[in-house]
């Protein structure tokens, strides 16, 4: 199966109806990531088909789980963004999102800046620095994908949220032990089981807010 068909099949399974131009931009991101990965080792995944499943579809799997009120014209931050995951795929699919990519490693931020330019992603801001050094109180939502344990996530990134903002942690298995170690100032609002087409692995979205 070619990449375009694989992506279309995965989007259908997620219930996401995306224009052809948006799908082309998602595949252009994969091509750019593969090109840069050969030199800069941005991700351990080398195969384009695996990138579609483990990067694109995994990132986009949160969209069916989110309320529209969390998306439309909202200020998002992706912490420990790495190669721009999940922030870049989300920003491609939802151009109405204001997405800031926070990444401490310069070569990864350089890739993000190049992706922003080549893909014309005017709704993305690249912030190269440690998450704890980024000024806070400005984001409606902060998402992480394999960034840190939940207690570290709230400690390092909690200050970024505006009042009534939420943290979204993308996890594999339901992290019951991590949840039990959360400080009492934070509460789990929701644990959503995600389905990622092409991946035979558990995925969960943990939604947190200040208690």
Per domain, the residue ranges of the chain are 3-210
d(CA 211, CA 189): 9
pTM: 0.97
Q: Does the N-terminal peptide bond of residue 86 adopt cis geometry, omega within 30 degrees of 0?
A: yes
* pLDDT score, position 33: 96
Angle at 168 between CA 186 and CA 141, to 5 degrees: 90
| E strand or H helix that includes residue 140 | strand 139-145
Q: What is the pLDDT of residue 37?
A: 94
Question: Could you tell me the mean pLDDT of each successive run of 10 residues in the chain, 211 residues long?
Answer: 96 98 98 94 92 97 93 94 97 97 97 98 98 95 94 97 96 96 97 94 96 94
Beta bridge mates, 145: 170
Task: Say what the pLDDT of residue 1 is.
Answer: 84
Going by CATH, does the domain composed of 3-210 fall within 3.40.50.150? yes
């Amino acid at each position: 199966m070619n990449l375009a068909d694989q992506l279309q099949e995965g989007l259908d399974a997620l219930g996401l109806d995306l224009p052809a131009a948006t799908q082309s931009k998602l595949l252009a991101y994969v091509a750019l990531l593969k090109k840069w990965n050969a030199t800069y080792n941005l991700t351990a995944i080398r195969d384009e088909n695996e990138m579609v499943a483990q990067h694109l579809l995994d990132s986009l799997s949160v969209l069916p789980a989110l309320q529209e009120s969390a998306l439309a014209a909202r200020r998002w931050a992706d912490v420990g963004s790495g190669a721009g995951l999940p922030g870049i795929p989300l920003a491609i699919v939802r151009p109405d999102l204001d997405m800031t990519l926070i990444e401490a490693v310069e070569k990864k931020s350089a890739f993000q800046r190049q992706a922003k330019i080549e893909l014309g992603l005017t709704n993305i801001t690249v912030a190269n620095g440690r998450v704890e050094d980024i000024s806070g109180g400005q984001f409606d939502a902060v998402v992480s994908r394999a960034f840190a344990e939940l207690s570290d996530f709230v400690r390092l990134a909690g200050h970024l949220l505006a009042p009534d903002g939420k943290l979204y942690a993308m996890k594999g298995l339901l992290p019951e032990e991590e949840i039990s170690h959360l400080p009492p100032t934070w509460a789990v609002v929701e644990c959503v089981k995600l389905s990622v087409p092409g991946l035979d692995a558990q995925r969960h979205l943990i939604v947190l807010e200040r208690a």
